[in-house]
Amino acid sequence: MKALWLEDGNLSVREIDVPPASGEALVRVTLSGICGTDLELTRGYYPYAGVPGHEFVGEVAEAPDPEWVGERVVAEINDACGTCAMCRRGHPTHCERRTVLGIVAHDGAHAEYVRVPVANLHRVPDGVPDEAAVFAEPLAAALEILEQVHIRPGDRVLLVGAGRLGQLVGRVLALTGAHVRVLARYERQIELLALAGVECVAEDEVGERCWDVVVEATGSPSGLHTARAALRPRGTLVLKSTYRGEVTLDLAPFVVDEITVVGSRCGPFEPALELLATGRIDPVPLIETRYPLARALEAFEAAVRPGAMKVLLEPGGGPPGS
Amino acid sequence: MKALWLEDGNLSVREIDVPPASGEALVRVTLSGICGTDLELTRGYYPYAGVPGHEFVGEVAEAPDPEWVGERVVAEINDACGTCAMCRRGHPTHCERRTVLGIVAHDGAHAEYVRVPVANLHRVPDGVPDEAAVFAEPLAAALEILEQVHIRPGDRVLLVGAGRLGQLVGRVLALTGAHVRVLARYERQIELLALAGVECVAEDEVGERCWDVVVEATGSPSGLHTARAALRPRGTLVLKSTYRGEVTLDLAPFVVDEITVVGSRCGPFEPALELLATGRIDPVPLIETRYPLARALEAFEAAVRPGAMKVLLEPGGGPPGS
């Protein structure tokens, strides 16, 4: 099958074997999305070698349980052992022995086929097109903020960053009914948020020490400092992006102002699918462009451009073995 | 009156006027305690000039309300405006216009007399000796952790640091019934904790990623790194010490492990006084030595020694005006 391959930070499209039969389901990938983490992997964020990609929608081609075959699915990305301390606590996304699709020791979805544990599959509701379903994973990650932090309707919430993930985070934050404003860098980001009824704020109107909750979704030290300065004493700072390298911080103000900092990663798929099914969140306008898998390197170049929105790959594979 | 004076990081004992009458109470200081923040002030942590000292017990000499005169009291250290956004939210310790006794724009307690707002006074219960009451402020600060973080009896809680504040934090954490262990540096610290029934853990037995809650009370980057490494995914890291200067951190693991970080400062006085009154916490063994105010510079030298416990000053002033 055709697959994108990452090794030593270099990408190539190559022919590899369809992943061999295992206890997992084999899914024919219809669409996969390029995420910031994919780009970070090419810069050495993790020493991963294999097929990248963890946002996708597809159709089950083979499964241990034949009821799954033919189903349109998305899938959670952490393959958990089910028996370690974190799994037993109900946190399988923190399984100490986990593999992570396209990130840690498990081939990912930028390929014609991907194998995923049956336990990780979620059926896509009929009314949700593939173009929306492919956002299930990052939308779930955005929802994780609401799993972790109680945002009240009376809160003032600032989102710093309106990129691929930030766009979804802004839409999710707006669900709370709180006073939500987004600090965006590019005109296109502001337009897309406006389309979803989410308002932006100009940098010189953010103010200092006056937001109850600030979500940092730039992954940059400057974004982090902006977020910190905007937060009120006793406020909550959510770190929604992974940071490359080390960041230098003056921690004294975190103590004096009794700030709470919450790191946030993977989230719940079912509510994400429900938001897509009801249309309360429509991510389709975030699609910037689509490339066939054979042109994946061009797609990555498009995705890395400043302000780029979602770039999709279309693996378009035939039946397995064809 | 005699007072300790801090200016440009230098301490001196000098004669200054008794603070002039104001809406505040005038308290004759019986005992004052030297705290880590006092030591930091001499190193330029804040650009404060004036009388330092914010841990004390004394007797009210004058007050707008004569009912207070003659009462034995301790006092909260933040003088709040009562009208700003943080005060209206019920967080007077975060008042944006606050002064802080002996720290920010308000003369402190290392003096024969100190003026404090009547609203900040707390009567000391009869059974609590001055030597215990002088710990009310740092004990309240330790209790702030339990105000902020729900520690469950089933939790594994690690305290990193067993200095002056750490000793009180260890005793407070033990109240929760959780599995509490302390990483202490000095034999004397371990003995004092043992006296209070709080167990320590050897550094090579701390382990990694296995504590539900870790409290950092060293204020050092190395303590912070130890604390972070010990914490499990989804755990809570409490920053209980102020940090001098900047700290360099790799934030990616905070996001990937979805860590919560909570800065913690001043706490509630009434429960602190109740714990002292019931004897459930007895801080008196933490007193290392006492000096008359005239020898305050020697006292600070004693307090700065590695592993030093609580050093007290005895102002021993006569009636005001004498």
Q: Does the beta-carbon distance from A91 to B255 stay under 8 Å?
A: no
Best mutation site among B255, B264, B265 for testing chain A: the one with the most A CBs within 10 Å? Answer: B255
Residue B29's pLDDT is 98
Q: How confident is the model at residue A259 (pLDDT cuts 50, 70, 90)?
A: very high
Phi, psi (degrees; rounded to nearest 5) at B169: -60, -45
Which residues in chain A have Cβ-Cβ distances shorter than 8 Å to B250?
243, 245-247
Q: Which residues in B195-306 belong to E strands, given as ranges?
A: 211-216, 231-239, 246-250, 260-263, 287-292
Q: What is the mean pLDDT of residues A52-64?
A: 97
Which among A94, A234, A255 has CB closest to B257? A94
Q: How far is A235 from chain B (nearest CA, A)?
A: 10
Contact pairs from chain A to chain B, CB under 8 Å: 128
Q: Is the pLDDT of residue A321 over 60?
A: no
Q: What are the pLDDT digits (tens) for A193-208?
A: 999 999 999 999 999 9
Which residues in chain A have Cβ-Cβ distances shorter than 8 Å to B256?
242, 263, 265
Q: What are the pLDDT digits (tens) for B99-109?
A: 999 999 999 99
Which residues in chain A have Cβ-Cβ distances shorter than 8 Å to B210?
85
Residues of A near B (Cβ–Cβ under 8 Å) read 45, 85-86, 89, 91, 94, 96, 144, 148, 209-210, 224, 232-234, 239-252, 254-265
Which among A209, A243, A248 has CB closest to B252? A243
**What are the structure tokens assigned to B282, written together?**
């007895």
Q: Does the beta-carbon distance from B264 to A248 stay under 8 Å?
A: no
Q: Is the pLDDT of residue B263 over 60?
A: yes
The length of chain B is 322
Q: Does the beta-carbon distance from B85 to A232 stay under 8 Å?
A: yes
Q: Does the beta-carbon distance from A94 to B233 stay under 8 Å?
A: yes
Phi, psi (degrees; rounded to nearest 5) at A140: -60, -40
Distance CA B251, CA B255 (A): 7
Which among A96, A246, A255 has CB closest to B250? A246
Q: Does the beta-carbon distance from B248 to A247 stay under 8 Å?
A: yes
Diameter of chain A measured on Cα atoms: 64
**What are the structure tokens assigned to A312, written together?**
């999709």
The proportion of chain B whose per-residue pLDDT surpasses 90, expressed as a percent, equals: 91
Which residues in chain B have Cβ-Cβ distances shorter than 8 Å to A254?
239, 261, 263
Best mutation site among A94, A97, A258 for testing chain B: the one with the most B CBs within 10 Å? Answer: A258
Q: What are the pLDDT digits (tens) for A19-55?
A: 888 889 999 999 999 999 999 999 987 789 999 999 9
Which among B255, B262, B264 has CB closest to A239? B255
Which residues in chain A have Cβ-Cβ distances shorter than 8 Å to B259?
261-263
The SS3 assignment for A209 reads coil
Helical packing angle, A164-174 and A187-195, nearest 10°: 30
Which among A86, A250, A255 has CB closest to B239? A255
Q: Does the beta-carbon distance from A243 to B255 stay under 8 Å?
A: yes
Residue A78's pLDDT is 96
Q: How far is A316 from chain B (nearest CA, A)?
A: 32
Distance CA A186, CA A191 (A): 9
Give burial (CB, 10 Å; 0-12/13-18/19+) of B175. Answer: middle
Which among A96, A255, A262 has CB closest to B242? A255
Please tell me the pTM assigned to this model.
Answer: 0.92
Return the residue of B nearest to A242 by Cα.
B252
Do A120 and A24 form a contact (C-beta atoms < 8 A)? no
The SS3 assignment for B67 reads helix
Q: Is the pLDDT of residue B320 over 70?
A: no
Best mutation site among A261, A265, A266 for testing chain B: the one with the most B CBs within 10 Å? Answer: A261
Phi, psi (degrees; rounded to nearest 5) at A55: -110, 120
Which residues in chain B have Cβ-Cβ distances shorter than 8 Å to A36?
none
Helical packing angle, B164-174 and B136-148, nearest 10°: 50
Q: Which residues in B70-202 belong to E strands, given as ranges?
A: 72-75, 78-79, 99-100, 113-116, 121-123, 156-160, 179-183
Q: What is the mean pLDDT of residues A65-69?
A: 95
Q: Is the pLDDT of residue B151 over 90?
A: yes
Residue B136's pLDDT is 98
Residue B41's pLDDT is 92
The length of chain A is 322
Q: Is the pLDDT of residue A317 over 80?
A: no
Which residues in chain B have Cβ-Cβ distances shorter than 8 Å to A239?
251, 254-255
Do B185 and B226 form a contact (C-beta atoms < 8 A)? no
Contacting residues for B51 by C-beta, under 8 A, at least 6 apart: B3, B4, B5, B6, B16, B102, B107, B108, B109, B110, B111, B114
Return the residue of B nearest to A239 by Cα.
B255
**Chain centroid to CA A247: how far?**
22
CB atoms under 10 Å from CB of A129, counted, come to: 13
Which among B252, B263, B264 has CB closest to A242? B252
Give the residue ranges of DSSP H helices in chain A. 36-42, 85-88, 130-133, 136-148, 164-174, 187-195, 221-230, 252-256, 269-278, 296-304
The SS3 assignment for A225 reads helix
Which residues in chain B have Cβ-Cβ distances shorter than 8 Å to A245?
250
Contacting residues for B210 by C-beta, under 8 A, at least 6 apart: A85, B156, B230, B232
Instruction: Check residues A181 and B317 and name the one with the higher pLDDT.
Output: A181
Residue B316's pLDDT is 83
Q: Is the pLDDT of residue B44 over 90?
A: no
Give the residue ranges of DSSP H helices in B12-90. 36-42, 85-88
The proportion of chain B whose per-residue pLDDT surpasses 70, expressed as a percent, equals: 98
Domains of chain B are 2-135+283-314 (3.90.180.10), 141-263 (3.40.50.720)
Return the residue of A nearest to B89 by Cα.
A234
Q: What are the pLDDT digits (tens) for B58-99?
A: 999 999 999 999 999 999 999 999 999 999 999 999 999 999
Return the residue of B nearest to A91 by Cα.
B234
Which residues in chain B have Cβ-Cβ distances shorter than 8 Å to A45?
252
The proportion of chain A whose per-residue pLDDT surpasses 90, expressed as a percent, equals: 91
Which among A85, A94, A257 has CB closest to B94? A257
Q: What are the pLDDT digits (tens) for B188-247?
A: 999 999 999 999 999 999 999 999 999 999 999 999 999 999 999 999 999 998 877 788
Residue A46's pLDDT is 79
Residue B321's pLDDT is 56
